[in-house]
């Protein structure tokens, strides 16, 4: 089984920004003949859970989907083409195939499309390294005083929220939101782009 990224993580925001999608397969435990479920998503954990819920008859009532049996990544457009090609061929997301045969058909279809599948482990290593660089940049900006606009906006909005008697996120949560926003934006400059402040704080926090 392959462990999956937490929903809403900076890594998922980064993957969304680069327009890639994971093609994934789940082997249901309640089947006697070869059978796999196919899906595609950036947030594979969330999509896999929804798929298991839709086909609940194939899963124990208490089973929680935290992992899948196989996932590889390619550009989003071709992931959609492969998914629709196989679901049309077999009449839905439940494929009457063994895991090995399903992987083989996905690989063949991706090759015919002229696309490329990237192994999950390779993608996670690259994305993890990239988002860590972003986190390091945020922390360096905080330590070096380069987050003047962010800190000023945080203080301003917190004061307004206090005056209105509204809850306002802690500084730690705001920085966490910033890291996620930067992962989706992937800027090269130091400091915090003004355009991201609204995304970090949200319209409801003003």
Q: Are 102 and 38 in contact, with CB atoms under 8 Å apart? A: yes
pLDDT of residue 178: 79
pLDDT of residue 63: 61
Strand 118-119 relative to strand 70-75, pairing: antiparallel
pLDDT of residue 43: 94
CA distance 163 to 57: 52
CA distance 54 to 48: 10
Q: How far is CA 95 from CA 31, 38, 153, in A?
A: 12, 7, 51
Give the three-class secondary structure for 6: coil
pLDDT of residue 119: 94
Start-end of H helices in 8-75: 10-17, 44-54
Q: State the angle between helix axes of 171-185 and 10-17 in degrees (0 to 180), rounded to the nearest 10.
A: 20
pLDDT of residue 42: 94
CA distance 116 to 114: 7
CA distance 43 to 53: 16
Q: How far is CA 116 from CA 75, 76, 108, in A?
A: 8, 11, 10
Q: How confident is the prediction along the chain (206 residues), in pLDDT tens digits per residue?
A: 787 888 888 888 888 888 899 999 999 987 778 999 999 999 999 999 999 889 988 887 656 677 899 999 999 999 999 999 999 999 999 999 999 999 999 999 999 999 999 999 999 999 988 888 877 776 776 656 657 777 888 888 888 888 888 888 888 888 888 777 776 665 444 455 555 666 677 665 55
pLDDT of residue 193: 56
CB atoms within 10 A of CB 113: 16
Spans of all domains in the chain = 2-120, 132-205
Report DSSP state, residue 59.
S
């Amino acid at each position: 089984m392959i462990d999956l990224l937490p929903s809403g993580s900076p890594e998922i925001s980064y993957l969304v920004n680069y327009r890639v999608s994971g093609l994934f397969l789940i082997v249901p435990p309640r089947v006697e003949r070869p059978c796999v479920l196919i899906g595609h998503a950036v947030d594979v954990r969330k999509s896999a859970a929804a798929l298991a819920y839709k086909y609940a008859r194939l899963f124990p009532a208490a089973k929680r989907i935290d992992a899948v049996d196989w996932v590889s990544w390619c550009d989003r457009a071709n992931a959609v083409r492969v998914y629709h090609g196989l679901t049309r061929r077999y009449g839905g997301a439940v494929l009457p195939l063994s895991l090995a045969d399903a992987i083989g058909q996905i690989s063949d279809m991706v090759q015919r499309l002229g696309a490329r599948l990237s192994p999950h482990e390779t993608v996670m290593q690259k994305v993890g390294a990239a988002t860590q660089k972003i986190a390091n940049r945020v922390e360096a900006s905080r330590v070096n005083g380069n987050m003047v606009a962010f800190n000023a906006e945080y203080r301003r909005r917190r004061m307004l929220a206090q005056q209105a008697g509204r809850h306002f996120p802690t500084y730690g949560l705001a920085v966490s939101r910033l890291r996620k926003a930067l992962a989706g934006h992937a800027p090269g400059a130091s400091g915090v782009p003004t355009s991201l402040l609204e995304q970090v704080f949200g319209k409801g926090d003003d």
